[in-house]
């Protein structure tokens, strides 16, 4: 479990210039309280959201605003009765939509009056389903975002992406898509059945991982008022909060790495 425990200290290890942090208590549908840690780094233009799920999984959502990339890293506890004494680490690299999260600068300015309060999101957004058809080469992943290597180093053989996302990311980075994909990614053949229907634990199969971000600042609120001259103006007067669940569909090789998908 050393690797799992170590991941809790990820932020302080690779993000020394922290300028804003929130601790949020979000209650899930089962009535359990999930504690989220959200950190903004304005100098790097990044936001990190982390939490320990009720199933024991440790989830990191890392947003790189400059590259328009977000990285989801998930530590999944192993099945000890099958000899899996260490957690499995998986990384999913997706395109980041700027309309889905407030900026790192806005995040850094949020102030927390009551860190023990139970937070309820104002809006539950539609589930995002990612079908990951690429494996990402860790050693070349810096071409997508300079943060992938540090975040996903423990998931060397389990880093996944979408071709459609990589096309959009390469455009935002002003990079040639063919060069990027040939260097940093490999297409996964779409020929495998679902893991729940695959009996042989040594065979590849299509796996699913689900997680929910129970509370996050998804937008800014603006109010109307007047300035010192009496002119009517709009001003920022708060944040909008959302919840979103995500499903990641990818090829696990072998099924032994997808024992939860029954």
Which pLDDT tens digit goes with each residue over 195-249?
Answer: 999 999 999 999 999 999 999 999 988 888 877 777 888 877 788 999 999 999 9
Task: Report d(CA 246, CA 12) in Å as an integer.
Answer: 26
Q: Tell me the CA end-to-end span of the chain in Å, nearest whole number.
A: 24
Q: Which residue has the higher pLDDT, 16 or 19?
A: 19
Task: Report d(CA 28, CA 24) in Å as an integer.
Answer: 12
Task: Report d(CA 103, CA 42) in Å as an integer.
Answer: 9
pLDDT at 15 over 70: no
Residue 139, domain extent: 2-258
For residue 38, list its beta bridge partners: 22, 49
| 45 closest CA partner among 19, 66, 16 | 66
Q: What is the pLDDT of residue 12?
A: 37
Which pLDDT tens digit goes with each residue over 62-87?
Answer: 999 999 999 999 999 877 777 677 88
Determine contact, residues 69/180, Cβ cutoff 8 Å: no
Q: What is the pLDDT of residue 14?
A: 37
Q: In what order do the strands lie in the sheet with 69-76?
A: 118-119, 20-27, 33-41, 46-52, 58-64, 69-76, 88-95, 159-161, 134-136, 185-187
pTM of the predicted model, to two decimals? 0.87
State the total domains in the chain. 1
Which pLDDT tens digit goes with each residue over 168-184?
Answer: 999 989 999 999 999 99
Q: What is the pLDDT of residue 20?
A: 64
């Amino acid at each position: 479990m050393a690797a799992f425990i170590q991941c809790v200290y990820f932020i302080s290890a690779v993000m020394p210039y922290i300028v804003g942090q929130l601790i949020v208590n979000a209650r899930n549908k089962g009535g359990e309280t999930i504690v989220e840690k959200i950190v903004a780094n304005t100098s790097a233009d990044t936001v990190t959201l982390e939490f320990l799920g009720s199933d024991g999984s440790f989830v990191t959502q890392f947003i790189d605003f400059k590259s328009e990339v977000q990285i989801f890293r998930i530590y999944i506890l192993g099945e000890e009765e099958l000899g899996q004494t260490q957690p499995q680490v998986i990384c999913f690299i997706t395109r980041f939509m700027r309309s889905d999260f407030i900026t790192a600068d806005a995040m850094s300015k949020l102030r927390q009056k009551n860190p023990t309060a139970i937070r309820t999101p104002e809006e539950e957004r539609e589930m995002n389903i990612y079908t990951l058809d690429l494996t990402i080469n860790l050693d070349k992943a810096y071409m997508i975002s300079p943060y992938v290597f540090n975040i996903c180093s423990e998931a060397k053989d389990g880093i996944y992406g979408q071709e459609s996302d990589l096309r959009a990311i390469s455009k935002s980075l002003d990079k040639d898509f063919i060069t990027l994909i040939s260097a940093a990614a490999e297409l996964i053949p779409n020929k495998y059945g679902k893991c729940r229907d695959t009996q042989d634990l040594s065979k590849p199969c299509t796996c699913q991982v689900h997680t929910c971000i129970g509370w996050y600042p998804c937008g800014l609120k603006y109010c109307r008022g007047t300035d010192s001259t009496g002119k009517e103006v709009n001003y920022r007067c708060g944040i909008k909060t959302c919840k979103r669940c995500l499903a990641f569909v990818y090829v696990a090789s072998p099924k032994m790495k997808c024992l939860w998908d029954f």
